[in-house]
Amino acid sequence: MTRPGALTRTLLLLALALGAGCSARPQPVTVDPFDGSAGAWPDPAAPFNVLAFSRTAGFRHASIPTALAALEALQSAGDYVVETTEDPTQFSSANLARFQVVVFLLTTGDVLDAAGQTAFEAWIGAGGSYVGVHSAADTEHDWPFYGTLVGAYFVSHPDVQPASVDLDPGATGDPAVAELPSPWLRTDEWYNFDHDPRPEVTVLETVDESTYTGGTMGADHPITWAHPTGGGGRAFYTALGHTDDSYRDPLFQRLLVSGLRWAAGR
């Protein structure tokens, strides 16, 4: 028979163990949208639908939970409704038809099989729009269609450090970068690409290689750009967004939502 004192100690140890287990559970990530965001984009049209895809088959960014939380927090500001997934089977013709924009959010490696690639190509060909964030350029290196869509592939980067981002002279007044500062001093991971995407894209922002170490692109180093797709939709890409702090930064939030809205034709 178990003595009362021993039973009490056993129950106490069990309660402590359960409490420790509960405290070890990951806490939800919360991100506050920038002040005044609800009135930033007055839009009488119905919200557009966004699929945010964050699957990784290579390096996985620690900022993914914060990035997803930011997209959810900014729905009201941007007048969109987002669904998030890492399930490649969501790339079917029937499912993609529900969305106006698909975001490759910090994806890496080969994230879609042949069936998913075929469905995505058909969806883009029918007018769907694409947004790529940061390591979306380190995704599907062996899929030429995707390479054209994203605009250029990542090849290397130096350590995370501050640098100056400038609006491209040709982007003055472009709604995707409206109200962003130039120069814009920020800390990020600065990608070098396999080629300069000009003139196939409209460059919106460049990074000034004289303000940091490790750049290999030279005097013209595009970092954010956009272009029409062959199917009547739009493609927007920014290499910014490596850090957790990026998704809490009101200026980066504005860039992200403006890119989404531009891609959706808003």
pLDDT band for 178, please (50, 70, 90 cuts): confident
Do β-strands 154-156 and 192-193 pair in parallel, antiparallel, or remain unpaired? antiparallel
Residue 11 located in a structural domain: no
Percent of the chain with pLDDT over 70: 84
pLDDT of residue 179: 84
Residue 138 located in a structural domain: yes
Predicted confidence (pLDDT) at residue 13 exceeds the cutoff of 80 = no
How remote is the C-alpha of 129 from its chain's centroid? 14
Residue 15 located in a structural domain: no
Residue 4 located in a structural domain: no
Residue 21 located in a structural domain: no
Nearest-angstrom CA–CA distance, 227 and 232: 11
pLDDT band for 108, please (50, 70, 90 cuts): very high
Residue 24 located in a structural domain: no
Predicted confidence (pLDDT) at residue 16 exceeds the cutoff of 90 = no
Nearest-angstrom CA–CA distance, 158 and 156: 7
Predicted confidence (pLDDT) at residue 33 exceeds the cutoff of 70 = no
Nearest-angstrom CA–CA distance, 167 and 165: 7
Residue 59 located in a structural domain: yes
Residue 16 located in a structural domain: no
Question: What residue numbers bound the domain in which 258 lies?
Answer: 31-263
- E strands of the chain, at which residues? 48-53, 80-85, 101-105, 129-133, 154-156, 161-167, 184-188, 192-193, 202-208, 222-228, 234-238
CATH of the domain at 213: 3.40.50.880
The pLDDT mean for the chain works out to 89
Specify the number of domains making up the chain. Answer: 1
With H, G, I as helix, E, B as strand and everything else as coil, classify residue 167. Answer: strand
Predicted confidence (pLDDT) at residue 26 exceeds the cutoff of 60 = no
Per-residue pLDDT tens digits for 123-158: 999 999 999 999 999 999 999 999 999 999 999 999
